[in-house]
Amino acid sequence: MISFKQLPLEAKAAVAAGVVFFSMMLSRSYLAEQLELRMRRWLLRLQMALFANALMLIGSLHVWRSTVTTFSRSSSVANSFCFMPWKIAVFMFLALAHSSFFTLLFLVAEEPYFFSLAAYTCLGAYIILIFFLFTLGSVEQAYKFLAGRAAKAGTGNKNSRTAMKPLLAVMLTVVLTVVGLLNASQPPTVNSVEVPVHKLPSTMNNLKVVLLSDIHLGPTVGKTKLAMIVRMVKALKPDITVIVGDLTDSEAEIIRPAVEPLGELNSPLGTYFVTGNHEYYTSDVSNWFELLKSFNIRPLHNENVKIVSPKSTDEWFCLAGVDDIEADVLRYSGHGMDLKKALRGCSSENAIVLLAHQPVAAKWALQERPDINLILSGHTHGGQMFPLNAGAYFLNPFFVGLYKVGQNTFVYVSPGTMYFGIPMRLGSRAEITEIILRSP
């Protein structure tokens, strides 16, 4: 029987990830009620950081072997002046990428720290590099198989070809990282979308709703970016502003100064908020609700409000919001998607607009209440960056943009107003959505 010491490093990393994941399940099931809330928050984040790092270690070993070990086999390269700086650079790159998850524990403030920005940039580049190393390796193997070549070519030619893969992968990674950073540094685009809403009162035709989602205040998004978003929203002069989750990645007390620009939102028919999965990762939802209320932002915690027409008090539509579905997974006390409670008093005689962070929740809501007229979601970030776009596309029933479901229902999924952690966007663009409601 093979002992743990005899396992390859990749297998040891996989075992470590499994142990951390198992400890997460145990702590959620058996320690949730025994630990103080603050300790529970810290433990959950630490476990998530350790789990991510254990998984990343498998990829990091592959990166090191591809970009360092491969070149060290050539005596001319290993003895060159550039090899040692290159070795140090690769080590620092991997160390920064691994440290990114720990910045949530130790480096969150009103404005991002440079270390956090550098660490998350390296994490984004790490994801791209892993993808290209794997893809180029797969292409090479497929070519050898299809061409029927034996791997008995000259040693010099083989070393040359072997070195080309990591060099090409690194060059592509550098180019895409720069493009992604430049794209994410731009202000969100304003996308205006007209949506016909069945049974919307004629007096509310052309009502303007501004949709924000996935701002992710935390290690790489701070007060300056939020103030910019608020200025852009105010310039649109919306009747209603809605924030559909993932506003934050940190505790309310720690990041309170960064949230202050939200107090400038002054939509005449109100500003509303529903939780996303990241609010529950903070384990601080109650404090966030109180903080948002102090800025005249109303959380819709499985509840609804009547949005009354400014022109006629007898005409209105129902605006409802549900908790994020991950509250159930995390066993967050008093929270979880409860559509029946959220739509209590909302009949099919009036238009219904639902705020639900995840597109999966939108799908479930329509299965239970097909009379909902419009659902506003976020969560997917439009994939945020290549190559994560494909995964986000296949994992969500609605990916990004406007979808028509049945005869009288629409779902709009925001690509996100900022980004999560990695300050990069590839194949997507941050967006503030201006939704114009049209009466039939």
Domain boundary among 184, 213, 245: 184
14 confidence band (pLDDT: 50, 70, 90): low
Q: Is the pLDDT of residue 158 over 60?
A: no
Residue with tokens 């009747």: 239
Q: What is the structure's pLDDT at 165?
A: 83
The residue type of 125 is A
Residue 332 shares a structural domain with residue 257? yes
Looking at 47-51, 183-187, 263-267, which range is the least confident one? Answer: 47-51
Q: What is the DSSP letter of 67?
A: I
Please indicate whether residue 66 or residue 290 has the higher confidence score (pLDDT): 290
- The half-sphere exposure of 124 on its side-chain side, counting CA atoms within 13 A, is 28
Sheet holding 303-309, edge to edge: 303-309, 312-321, 352-355, 374-377, 409-413, 401-405
Residue with tokens 């200025």: 231
The residue type of 168 is L
Question: Quick one: average pLDDT of 85-89?
Answer: 89
Cβ–Cβ < 8 Å for 285, 279? yes
Cβ–Cβ < 8 Å for 284, 44? no
Q: What is the structure's pLDDT at 151?
A: 46
Residue 266 shares a structural domain with residue 122? no
Question: Which residues are CB-neighbours of 381 under 8 A, at least 6 positions away?
Answer: 214, 392, 415, 416, 419, 420, 428
Residue 313 shares a structural domain with residue 378? yes
Q: How far apart are CA 71 and CA 165, in angstroms?
A: 11
Tens of pLDDT, residues 216-263: 999 999 999 999 999 999 999 999 999 999 999 998 999 999 999 999
Q: How far apart are CA 427 and CA 391, in angstroms?
A: 13
Which pair of tokens denotes residue 389?
């776009």
Q: Which residues pair with 354 in a beta bridge?
A: 320, 375
The CA-based angle 344-349-351, given to 5 degrees, is 80
Question: Quick one: average pLDDT of 404-431?
Answer: 94
Q: What is the structure's pLDDT at 171?
A: 93
Domain boundary among 169, 184, 199: 184
> How far from the centroid of its chain's Cα atoms is residue 325's Cα?
15
Average pLDDT, the chain: 87
Please indicate whether residue 119 or residue 23 has the higher confidence score (pLDDT): 119
Using CB atoms within 10 A of its CB, is residue 397 exposed (0-12), middle (13-18) or buried (19+)?
Answer: middle
Q: Is the pLDDT of residue 367 over 90?
A: yes
Q: What CATH number should be reported for the domain holding residue 231? A: 3.60.21.10
**Mean pLDDT highest for which of 55-64, 113-122, 152-161, 384-393?**
113-122
Q: Is the pLDDT of residue 149 over 60?
A: no
Domains: count for the chain:
2
Residue 156 shares a structural domain with residue 198? no
Residue 198 shares a structural domain with residue 104? no
Q: Which domain holds residue 128?
A: 4-184
Residue 144 shares a structural domain with residue 237? no
Residue 366 shares a structural domain with residue 335? yes
- Count of CB atoms situated within 10 Å of the CB of 67: 23
152 confidence band (pLDDT: 50, 70, 90): very low
Residue 122 shares a structural domain with residue 226? no
> How far from the centroid of its chain's Cα atoms is residue 276's Cα?
10
Residue 17 shares a structural domain with residue 130? yes
137 confidence band (pLDDT: 50, 70, 90): confident
Which pair of tokens denotes residue 305?
């409000």
Looking at 58-72, 191-205, 356-370, which range is the least confident one? Answer: 58-72
Q: Is the pLDDT of residue 95 over 50?
A: yes
Q: Is the pLDDT of residue 17 over 70?
A: no
Looking at 190-199, 236-245, 328-337, 360-369, which range is the least confident one? Answer: 328-337
Domain boundary among 115, 149, 184: 184
Residue 170 shares a structural domain with residue 197? no
Q: Is the pLDDT of residue 292 over 90?
A: yes
Residue 328 shares a structural domain with residue 431? yes
Residue 279 shares a structural domain with residue 400? yes
